[in-house]
Chains A and B, each alone.
Chain A
Amino acid sequence: MRENWQSRKGFIFAAAGAAIGLGNLWRFPFQAYKNGGGAFLLPYFVALITCAIPLMIMEYAFGRKIRGGSVKAFSSLNKKAEVVGWVQVMVPIIVMTYYSAIIAVSVIFMIYSLGHAFGMINWLSDPGPIMGMVTGSAENALDLGAGISIYILIAVIFVWLCNWLIVKKGISGGIEKMSTFFTPMLMVLMIIFMINAVRLQGSAIGLEALFKPDFSKILNPSIWVSAYAQVFFSTTLAVGVMIAYGSYLHDKADVVNSAFITVFANSSFDLIAGVLVFSTLGYLVNSMGVEFTSFGTGAGVAFIAFPIAISTMSQNVVVQGLLGFVFFFCLFIAGLSSSISMLESFATAALDKFKISREKLVTIISIVGFIGSACFASYAGFNYILDIVDAYVGNIVIAGLGLVEVVLISYIYGTGKLRDEANEFSDFKVGKWWDYLLRYFTPLLLGAVVITNLFNLVTGLFSQDTVGILSNIVFGWGTVLIMIGASVIFYKRKWTTDANQE
């Protein structure tokens, strides 16, 4: 008997928790900043309506219809397409290996923040040395002898332990319970942080930089591709997560409105993060005379800029430390709610095909995943290999899978049939526009995202030295090949459950 979500609220919180991740905090704000500020919102909204929402409805509806994860879903379309399902659920496992290392840094900073609050160490005003000590340094991606961060390694064990404990308990007993508590808590805490950031002196400078529209950029095709890429990657589509979550929906559950709520909740978090990050950066620009990009445009914003900002918000070290603890706890929750969804994507798919207990399967994946994460705890792994693997797997492969998924489901299963099923028990219905978007518009735009990313990656190689090119081949293409190879092995193995005969 297949499990179901116990409540609609639990399903939406779990799905929103899966979509909201660490990337929201730095990816959206800097995409908007670099691509026309407020003008970026126009392509962003178009992408939400024409790509994220239609795909989300499609994944929920197809998962609910098939009552299975990606592997069973693609296998039902065509026996050979099962391999696409395996590649799709293999991606989150690869992403989890390095994502866990980033979550691990949040855990370490949570502990250091407590140390700051108790007066054991004063670091929030100058987080550089702590960050350097935690992540270490290496000359390049091939400098594997540079060492391993024992801090990240220990924290990664903790992260995988949390993943294991939650996912082994299943959908209603683990993921739903955890999400119903932590997702609203994350939202409330981030809103409080945002309101506090807007009150800081200089926040207006930051908000001006983020929202001032530069409409001259709006006709540039690269802005539109960036908006589609932002929306697509941010909503955790095409990695089997939403198909798996949809498969646990009740037969008469709403699909359309739930997809709208999930996508809007994720975008709300994007905007909260945008206001929070740029108000804080505006404060630092005003008080320290730094540039908006002085802390980089990635994780450095969260791990360097925020501790500095927190240290100046109060003179009291206890308050500073506790604020730091709550902020990094938010990052930890955002990361964990996404990572459990990634683990569940693979678990659902494997449980559909192989007769194995959930507990045993989740234990095996967690051990293998931890070994993978240990590679990213190395100095070379965290500082170089992580970016390479993310560029290949986290960007190109996911966009490519999205393209294949939308074409296979739209043309083999049929959008008309799926639309009728999606509309049947929904709060409101989608019209024929949904069919046209999925059949023509979304594949075209996702194709453009794949080609642009691939072009940038290949041309980027020309500006690199021999070590850079070799690192890309070994860790980038190597990971892609291993992933495809493992998918083929799983595909070739016999079904030991009767799921495909249902």
Chain B
Amino acid sequence: MSTSTIIMMIIGCGTVWGGTVVTILIALAVEKKNNLKNQVN
């Protein structure tokens, strides 16, 4: 495979797969924070 193909593959897959992982991690972190807040209250 050419270098440009590999770069585009990494950019393409990395952006959407990475985007999914990051947004899920944010959701989990917020949920954890909210749970802690509820426990404190």
Contacts and interface: CB of A to CB of B under 8 A. Distances in A.
Say which size band chain B's interface belongs to. Answer: 20 to 34
Given A257-B23, A261-B27, A271 B5 contact: no
A87 interface: no
Contacts of B12: 38, 41, 211, 271
B4 A212 contact: yes
Contact of A213 (B8, B16, B30): B8
B19 A38 contact: no
A208 B1 contact: yes
Contacts of B4: 38, 212-213
Nearest to B15: A45
Chain A: interface size category: 20 to 34
Majority-rule SS of B interface residues? helix
Contacts of A204: 1
Contact of A41 (B2, B6, B8, B24): B8
B35 to A, nearest CB: 13
A93 interface: no
A45 B16 CA distance: 9
Contacts of B24: 261
A39 B8 CA distance: 8
A359 interface: no
Contacts of A270: 16
A271 B13 contact: yes
**In the complex, the 4 A-B pairs of residues with the closest C-beta atoms, listed nearest first:** A38-B8, A264-B20, A267-B16, A264-B19
A265 interface: yes
A428 interface: yes
A427 B9 contact: no
Interface string A258-278: 101100110110110001000
Interface in B1-41: 1-2, 4-9, 11-13, 15-17, 19-20, 23-24, 26-27, 30-31
A271 B2 contact: no
A428 B13 CA distance: 24
Nearest to B24: A261
Contact of A208 (B2, B7, B17, B30): B2
A257 B17 CA distance: 15
25 contacts: A8-B31, A37-B8, A38-B4, A38-B7, A38-B8, A41-B12, A204-B1, A207-B9, A211-B6, A211-B8, A211-B9, A211-B12, A212-B2, A212-B4, A213-B4, A213-B5, A213-B8, A264-B20, A264-B23, A265-B20, A268-B17, A270-B16, A271-B17, A427-B30, A428-B26
A352 interface: no
A38 B16 contact: no
Contacts of B5: 37-38, 207-208, 211-213
A279 to B, nearest CB: 11
A254 interface: yes
A271 B16 contact: yes
A427 B2 contact: no
Interface in A218-260: 254, 257-258, 260
A208 B20 CA distance: 25
Contacts of B2: 208, 212
B8 A212 contact: yes
Nearest to A45: B15
Contacts of A261: 20, 23-24, 27
A258 B27 CA distance: 8
Nearest to B28: A427
Given A204-B1, A267-B16, A270-B16, A427 B27 contact: yes
Interface in A187-212: 204, 207-208, 211-212
B24 to A, nearest CB: 6
A260 B9 contact: no
B36 to A, nearest CB: 15
B21 to A, nearest CB: 9
Interface in A152-205: 204
A260 B16 contact: no
A83 B36 CA distance: 46
Given A208-B5, A271-B16, A41 B11 contact: yes
B26 A427 contact: yes
Contacts of B16: 264, 267-268, 270-271
Given A38-B7, A212-B8, A264-B23, 13 more contacts: A38-B4, A38-B9, A38-B12, A41-B15, A208-B1, A208-B2, A212-B4, A212-B5, A257-B23, A257-B27, A261-B20, A268-B17, A271-B12
